[in-house]
Amino acid sequence: GQSLEQPSEVTAVEGAIVQINCTYQTSGFYGLSWYQQHDGGAPTFLSYNALDGLEETGRFSSFLSRSDSYGYLLLQELQMKDSASYFCAVLSASKIIFGSGTRLSIRP
Amino acid sequence: DAGVIQSPRHEVTEMGQEVTLRCKPISGHDYLFWYRQTMMRGLELLIYFNNNVPIDDSGMPEDRFSAKMPNASFSTLKIQPSEPRDSAVYFCASSPPGRVGVETQYFGPGTRLLVL
């Protein structure tokens, strides 16, 4: 079957760095995306990796290793507004699958 | 651009009633997605269209659910008859040409459905 695994919760301190991991088991993998969702809001796109390596967009970076079926989202200089749920999602053989989400809590 | 528009934003109905959710994608986008989100099941893809044609409807729960996209600027998701377990937030999303799958999807605000 096809599945994505990501931690359900992560806690970090304001100003710190946090990494949210995502491992997947799929067939015909095309790419991995990350979405952010604040409570009561809609998911918003953060990043997409189709090839191995690191993609950087401001304070956020995303990494992919296709050989390890693994990716992560790195958030730097954490701000209180980064408190949200983060979802990884994959496209695999025309199937789109979202992970169950990681709830990031940030302490002052 | 107004973004993806969904209506209604909130819907409360009684079991057995028909529910129709509506979505207007961003102009120029040729992919349209319908999702359902609950605490128990997370975010689930129900169906997606490309150029108004359904590509994958394997996520549609059962025959009570149907989706149509009669033109590039409008789609509906219909539940008939509705059941309490259909209570969820339903999101519509669209993405531009050439962006296949999960890449750069723009989500609407969602419709919060409560079936009593």
Contacts of B109 in chain A (CB under 8 A): 41-42
Confidence check: pLDDT of A65 > 80? yes
Three-state SS string across chain B, please? Answer: CCCCEEECCEEEECCCCCEEEEEECCCCCCEEEEEEEECCCEEEEEEEEECCEEEECCCCCCCCEEEEEEECCEEEEEECCCCHHHCEEEEEEEECCCCCCCCCCEECCCEEEEEC
Q: Give the residue from chain B lying closest to A43, CA to CA.
A: B107
Q: What is the pLDDT of residue A8?
A: 95
Confidence check: pLDDT of A26 > 90? no
> Do residues A43 and A36 touch, judged by C-beta distance below 8 A?
yes
Per the CB < 8 Å rule, is B56 touching A42?
no
Is the Cβ of B44 closer than 8 Å to some Cβ of chain A? Answer: yes
Q: Give the residue from chain A lying closest to B34, CA to CA.
A: A96
Closest by CA position to B81, among listed B102, B101, B103, B66: B66
Per the CB < 8 Å rule, is A30 touching B101?
yes
Percent of chain A past pLDDT 70, that is, above it, reads 98
Is the Cβ of B98 closer than 8 Å to some Cβ of chain A? Answer: no
Confidence check: pLDDT of A20 > 90? yes
B105/A98 Cα distance (integer angstroms):
13
Confidence check: pLDDT of A63 > 90? yes
Q: What are the pLDDT digits (tens) for A43-56? A: 999 999 999 999 99
- Stretch among A10-19, A64-73, B5-14, B57-66 having the lowest mean pLDDT: B57-66
Closest by CA position to A73, among listed A26, A7, A2: A7
If one counts every other C-beta atom within 10 angstroms of the C-beta of residue B60, the result is 19
Hey, which residues 17-36 in chain B have their CB within 8 Å of chain A? 33
Q: What is the pLDDT of residue B98?
A: 75
Q: What is the mean pLDDT of residues A79-104?
A: 91
Confidence check: pLDDT of A106 > 70? yes
Task: Give the nearest partner residue to A96 out of B101, B104, B110, using CB atoms.
Answer: B101
Q: To 10 degrees, the CA torsion angle through A74, A83, B87, B52?
A: -50
Is the Cβ of A33 closer than 8 Å to some Cβ of chain B? Answer: yes
Where residue A93 falls among pLDDT bands split at 50, 70, 90?
confident
Q: What are the pLDDT digits (tens) for B28-37? A: 999 999 999 9
Segments of chain B scoring below 50 in pLDDT: none
